Amino acid sequence: MGLYLNPNAEALKMGLNSEIYVDKSLVLSELNKLACSQGNFVCISRPRRFGKSMVGNLISAYYSKGCDTREIFSQMKIGEMPDYDRYLNKFNVIKLDLNGWYQRSIQKRRKEYLITDIHKTLTSEFKESFSSIEFNGEETLDQCILKVYGKTGEKFVIIIDEYDVLVRERVPEELFQDYLSFLNSLFKDTTLRPAIALAYITGIIPIVRDKIQSKLNEFMEYTMIDAGPFAPYIGFTEDETKALCEEYGRDYAEYKRWYDGYKLSDEVSLYNPKSVTTSISRKRMSGYWSATGSFEVLKDYIMMDFAGIRQDVISMISGKWVPVNVGKFQNTLESITNKDNAFTYLIHLGYLSYNYDEGTCGIPNEEVRLEWVNAIDDEDDYSAIMNLINTSKKLLDDTINGNEEAVARALDTAHTAVTNPLTYNDEHCFQSAICLAYFYANTRYTLIKELPTGKGYADLVLIPYQPNIPALVIELKHNKSAESALQQIKEKNYCQALNNYTGNLLFVGISYDEKTKEHSCRIEQMK
């Protein structure tokens, strides 16, 4: 048993002793299907603080010969599976946190010796663990594995967390080439392949296509864009979050609004685990995940001068989803040369969510939306948008108070601020302007666009979290009167979707005239 070769289960036990721990052990059932097969090389990419390392600790404790974890896993969800102990403590495990190694190499000013230090440290542990086998101390990690497999027939599970750190950190070329050789020796040698029962690597971004894909082309990738069977296992699912809310007496609807939004499949929508657990512990909603990083990462990409990016950013902040082509991104920072690649990268970082069926991306939840607003604050290109967001509270108050003229003038300003002259009369831009103008309403309401109700779809419905403010049904008209918008709400019975709502209800009709470029508004309380 060593720190990196056949580690113990202490990291898993620390997780289990946490105040809040969600059992993700069924991931082992999926991995057991792949172990010792042709599909046994797995790469999973997820945003930071989504639980990649905790799952890595789980996997290590299950397979490692360095510990006896039968009692632990027999009491977890995997213990309910008929073959839960198929590979329990059956393999030699090598577990590397590459980010940890890299940071220590910087502290010791030995960055150029990073890969050499890994080889030497692991060789030393091999000599201790396999004393009956002769090692000369000069072997590389792959040579140690091959020597043990040749002498004993024992197989290995290799776990590398943050495999992509040397890609993201833009390290010196010599170190990067050393890293490529390291990957090549572990995963491309056909002689070594039978010795590896399972390889499990994780990172923030998928495998870099033009730099290291040739070294890792044996790996099956499971990403934020296509998570496959591993969708439920890194991040909290709806059922898991709902169960936590029930256990700790929290408002599930609020957690859904703040932390949901990563739809990885028809069945799986993920919540940010860092934010969910922290907000439960602190008993308040806030941007806990975003506080672990810097919005400068986000700002760097949305401020790039790519065609169409400003309008799409405005649309997404207002709540809309925009088309994105995720197929051309090479998974390198150097390949971010257009809007689609920038948005694809932000999907992998967790700042955007991806709808696979529609090929669109959008801001996943309130926590991340606030991060986007922070990113454009104080930027000249977005100054008009920030002014609009900052005055949004008055617009909402004027709407609730029935001040029709003030609402119309505010929407004139909003439409001008978010639209360029070429698209000023576009209906979709009109809707984006309205949604962005009511940005502040997100703090008091659930905003639902195109809500099926009555005999059609209501353009925008605002359902309050608090009982002391009215719900709003907003209908938009283009080159027609605000009165006709109100009439449509009534004739098509748009309030039907709010049959179970017992508070006050306002009908809001808003129209836009292309010729005058002015808005009009009519507000009526439902009787």
CATH fold of 10-230, please? Answer: Rossmann fold (3.40.50)
Q: How far apart (Å, rounded) are the C-alpha atoms in residues 4 and 90?
A: 16
pLDDT digits (tens, 9 = 90+) for 349-397: 999 999 999 999 999 999 999 889 888 887 777 887 888 888 889 999 9
**3-class DSSP state for residue 242?**
helix
CATH class, 384-525 region: alpha beta
Q: How far apart (Å, rounded) are the C-alpha atoms in residues 315 and 322?
A: 7
44-48, 108-112, 307-311 — which one is most confidently predicted on average? 44-48
> H or E stretch including 123?
helix 114-129
Residue 210 binned pLDDT confidence (cut-offs 50, 70, 90): low
* pLDDT score recorded for residue 214: 57
Domain boundaries, the chain: 10-230, 238-291, 293-376, 384-525
Residue 418 binned pLDDT confidence (cut-offs 50, 70, 90): low
**3-class DSSP state for residue 41?**
strand
Q: Is the pLDDT of residue 438 over 90?
A: no
**Per-residue exposure over 6-39, b if at least 16 CB sit within 10 Å of its own CB, e if not:** bbbbebbeebbeeeeebebbbbbbebbebbeeee
Q: Is the pLDDT of residue 126 over 80?
A: yes
The residue that leads in pLDDT, 13 or 305, is 13
Per-residue DSSP letter, 219: P
How many CB atoms within 10 Å of residue 323?
Answer: 12
Q: How far apart (Å, rounded) are the C-alpha atoms in residues 32 and 87?
A: 7
**What pTM does this model have?**
0.87
Residues 39, 199 contacting (CB under 8 angstroms): no
Q: How far apart (Å, rounded) are the C-alpha atoms in residues 66 and 3?
A: 10
State the average pLDDT for the chain.
Answer: 88
Query: Tokens representing 501?
Result: 């709502």
**The domain defined by 293-376 carries CATH number 1.10.10:** yes
Query: Tokens representing 380?
Result: 């000249």
Among candidates 429, 437, 371, which has minimal Cα distance to 409?
A: 437
Q: Is the pLDDT of residue 125 over 90?
A: yes
